[in-house]
Amino acid sequence: MAKREEYEMKTEELLAPILQEQGFELVDVEFVKEGSNKYLRAYIDKPGGITVDDCETVSRRLSDLLDEKDFIEESYILEVSSPGLGRPLKKEKDYVRSKGKEVEIHLFRPVNHEKTWEGLLTDWDKETVTIALSEEESLTVERANIALIRLAFDF
């Protein structure tokens, strides 16, 4: 297991009781390098949305636990935030929550000469995702070809 995956997994374990107590949901944890800095990011949510105060509460408690457990050998910046509108669908619960909603799919390789598709999320499994392009037409793409799938923005 890569250090990044280990850090993310252990952080999720530390977050679980904090989030359960607060009634929040863990959307994702990532340990990434951006420029010369490394970031440990936790994305949290709840019905009605996360507030700045919610993020602060979780951040303070998580920071104390991270200092106590001290399993991350590198310096990093901790961020706790809402996943935002453009959050990608990553986990099964993201797909369940988004079924029947308009999604945007960006592909690595074009399908029918297009790399970006929008449609209603209708079905998925471990290998594929299917969206309805219209009442008569649907598109099924391999998950391995999906660079990003997220809820579509409607401005």
SS (HEC) of the chain: CCHHHHHHHHHHHHHHHHHHHHCCEEEEEEEEEECCEEEEEEEEECCCCCCHHHHHHHHHHHHHHHHHHCCCCCCCEEEEECCCCCCECCCHHHHHHHCCCEEEEEEEEEECCEEEEEEEEEEECCCEEEEECCCCCEEEEEHHHEEEEEECCCC
Class of residue 80 by CB neighbours under 10 A (exposed 0-12, middle 13-18, buried 19+): buried
Tokens 């945007």 correspond to: 104
Q: What is the CATH number of domain 92-151?
A: 2.30.30.100
- As annotated, the residues of the chain forming the CATH 2.30.30.100 domain(s) are 92-151
Q: What does pLDDT average to in each consecutive run of 10 residues of the chain (155 residues)?
A: 91 96 92 94 90 96 96 95 82 87 95 96 95 95 94 75
Cα–Cα distance for residue pair 32/25, rounded to 1 Å:
21
pLDDT at site 47: 85
CB of 82 closer than 8 Å to CB of 99: no
Q: Which CATH architecture has domain 3-81?
A: 2-Layer Sandwich (3.30)
- As annotated, the residues of the chain forming the CATH 3.30.300.70 domain(s) are 3-81
pLDDT at site 87: 76
pLDDT at site 6: 94
